[in-house]
Amino acid sequence: MDLEELKQKVAAISWYHSIDLGNGIVTPGVFRTSDELKRLGLPADLGGHTVLDVGAWDGFYSFEAERRRASRVLATDHFCWSGKGWGTKAGFELARRALKSKVEDLEIDVLDLSPDRVGTWDVVLCLGVLYHMQHPLLALERVASVTGKCLILETHVDMLWTRRPAMAFYPGAELNRDPTNWWGPNVAAVRAMLTSVGFRTIDLVSEFSLPFRFGRAIKWSVVGRGGFLPTLAQGRLVVHAWR
C-alpha cells in the first residue's frame, strides 16, 4: 500500500501502542511505548532467542523483539483482539503488514496457555496483563509453564506500605476507572507468586520511586483520579524471573 493509504488506515484505528511504521508514520497510541522500553530492561540483542508476547494488543513489543533479532516471535491475545474491550486486532494486523513483519499470531486466553498449545519460549513478555487477571496466581502458573528461560513481567502494584505479601482487590472500577483492573499485588506478593510457580531467580528491574509516586498522587487527587493516600501506595513494577 502507498503512504497515503497507510495514513488513512492508521487514522481509522483506535491505537493503544505508539508504533513507528517508518516514513514518518507513527501510530497515535495513548501509551508511550518508547518510554516504557527504558523501564523494561529488554535485552538489546535477542538473536537466537524465541519470544512469546502475552497480551500483545497492537504488537509493539512483538515487533520490537523481532527488530532485536529474535529468531521467532509469537504474539498472543484474546481480550483485546476479540473486541471485548475498546481495542481490536486491526492495529496489530496493519502494523505487521506495514512493517513487513514475520511475527506470528495466535488468539488465545492467558489461562489457556500451555506447552501443548503454544510450546515453550526462551523469553516471555507479560506486560500490563497480571492485574487484569481475575485469577492472577493461576495466570502466572500458565505463563510459567510456557517460559523456557526468562519471564519479563510488568505490572501495576499496590499496598506498597507493607512488606508482607498482599494484594488489593478492585471489585469495581476503583483503579483508573477501569472495571477490567482486578488486583494490585505488592512487591512481596509478586515475588512470592513467581517463586511459587517455579521461578528460581527474581530480579527487580525497575519500580516507581517514592518522589514520583508522591507527585503523581497529588496530581491524580486534584483531577479526581484517586485519593492521595491510596494512589501514593500504588506504582508500577518490572521484574525479570528466571527458571
List C-alpha distances in Å: 231 to 19, 63, 157, 158. Answer: 29, 33, 10, 8
CB distance 55 to 129 below 8 Å? yes
What residue type is assigned to position 49 of the chain? H
Pairing between strand 50-54 and 72-77? parallel
pLDDT, tens digit, 9 for 90 and up, residues 41-98: 999 999 999 999 999 999 999 999 999 999 999 999 999 999 776 779 999 999 999 9
Looking at residue 97, its pLDDT comes to: 97
What is the dotted CATH code of the domain comprising 32-242?
3.40.50.150
Grid cell for residue 196 = 511459587
* Residues contacting 124, CB < 8 A, separation 6+: 51, 52, 54, 143, 146, 147, 150, 151, 152
The 10 Å Cβ neighbour count of residue 56 is: 27
pLDDT, tens digit, 9 for 90 and up, residues 99-143: 999 999 999 999 999 999 999 999 999 999 999 999 999 999 999
